[in-house]
């Protein structure tokens, strides 16, 4: 009987101590956001093991922060990402990145396969380029299709099909549509600014 009373008293003391410690500990709360687990390369497709969900205080959450792993898996990055960096909508290929790069609500991304794939190795996300197309780009007669296009990213070619890299540029809406239509079936290159 005395042993039971002692055990009950010990349990009460432990419960009180835990309640006091729990009350003194700061509440863990925040907004769930995605952050990179390790370095991520520009143009890379994001995999489920590349990111993790963490809680951040509301005042430390950047605008456009992404919150769910499913929002990013399979999407491509427009630039490099460091470990611990919170992923936002403008860090991924998509309409938000094009609008941010051009500064216009109707901006769009235009994918370009270049006549000379080696040119893709010379451009980086953020660079300004002119898009040149037309018959005989390599031998003359090319026409400037767009001036001052902002490079969003360079996506690697598909290994299985040996296709060249894809350069994604951002342009204002009407110009983007014109360039996309003009580059179908013709050689395209870039001039670097």
pLDDT in tens, the chain (193 residues): 665 665 555 455 545 555 555 544 444 479 999 999 999 988 888 999 999 999 999 999 999 999 999 989 988 888 889 999 999 988 888 888 888 888 899 999 999 988 888 898 899 888 999 999 875 555 566 889 999 999 998 887 765 556 778 899 999 989 999 999 988 888 889 999 8
| Two tokens, residue 70 | 């499913």
Task: For residues 136 and 187, state if they share a domain.
Answer: yes
Query: Residue 114 falls within a domain, yes or no?
Result: yes
Q: How far apart are CA 129 and CA 70, in angstroms?
A: 33
34 and 8 Cβ atoms separated by less than 8 Å: no
Query: Residue 25 falls within a domain, yes or no?
Result: no
Query: Residue 39 falls within a domain, yes or no?
Result: yes
Strand residues in the chain grouped as ranges (E): 31-36, 51-56, 108-113, 128-133, 143-155, 166-171, 188-192
Task: For residues 35 and 70, state if they share a domain.
Answer: yes
Q: Per the structure, how many domains does the chain have?
A: 2
Q: How far apart are CA 61 and CA 54, in angstroms?
A: 11
Task: For residues 118 and 85, state if they share a domain.
Answer: no
Which range of residues forms the domain containing residue 83?
Answer: 31-91
Nearest to 36 by CA among 46, 47, 50: 50
76 and 91 Cβ atoms separated by less than 8 Å: no
Q: What is the DSSP letter of 167?
A: E
List phi, psi (to 5°) of 13: -60, -45
Task: For residues 75 and 144, state if they share a domain.
Answer: no
Task: For residues 132 and 172, state if they share a domain.
Answer: yes
Helices (H), the chain: 2-24, 95-102, 173-182
Q: Give this prediction's pTM.
A: 0.68
Query: Residue 23 falls within a domain, yes or no?
Result: no
Task: For residues 99 and 184, state if they share a domain.
Answer: yes
Task: For residues 185 and 147, state if they share a domain.
Answer: yes
Task: For residues 82 and 135, state if they share a domain.
Answer: no
């Amino acid at each position: 009987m005395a042993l039971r009373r002692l055990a009950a008293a010990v349990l009460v003391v432990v419960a009180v101590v835990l309640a006091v410690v729990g009350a003194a500990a700061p509440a863990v709360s925040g907004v769930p956001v995605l952050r990179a687990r390790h370095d991520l390369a520009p143009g890379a497709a994001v995999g489920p093991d590349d990111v993790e969900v963490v809680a951040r205080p509301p005042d430390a959450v950047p605008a456009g922060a992404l919150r769910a792993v499913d929002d990013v898996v399979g999407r491509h990055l427009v630039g490099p990402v460091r470990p611990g960096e919170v992923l936002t909508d403008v860090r991924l290929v998509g309409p938000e990145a094009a609008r941010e790069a051009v500064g216009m609500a109707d901006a769009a991304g235009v994918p370009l396969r270049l006549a000379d794939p080696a040119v893709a190795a010379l451009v980086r996300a953020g660079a300004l380029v002119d898009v040149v197309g037309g018959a005989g780009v390599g031998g003359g007669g090319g026409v400037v299709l767009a001036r001052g296009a902002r490079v969003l990213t360079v996506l690697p070619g598909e290994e299985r099909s040996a296709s060249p890299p894809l350069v994604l540029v951002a342009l204002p809406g009407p110009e983007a549509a014109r360039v996309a239509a003009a580059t179908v079936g013709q050689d395209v290159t870039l001039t670097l600014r």
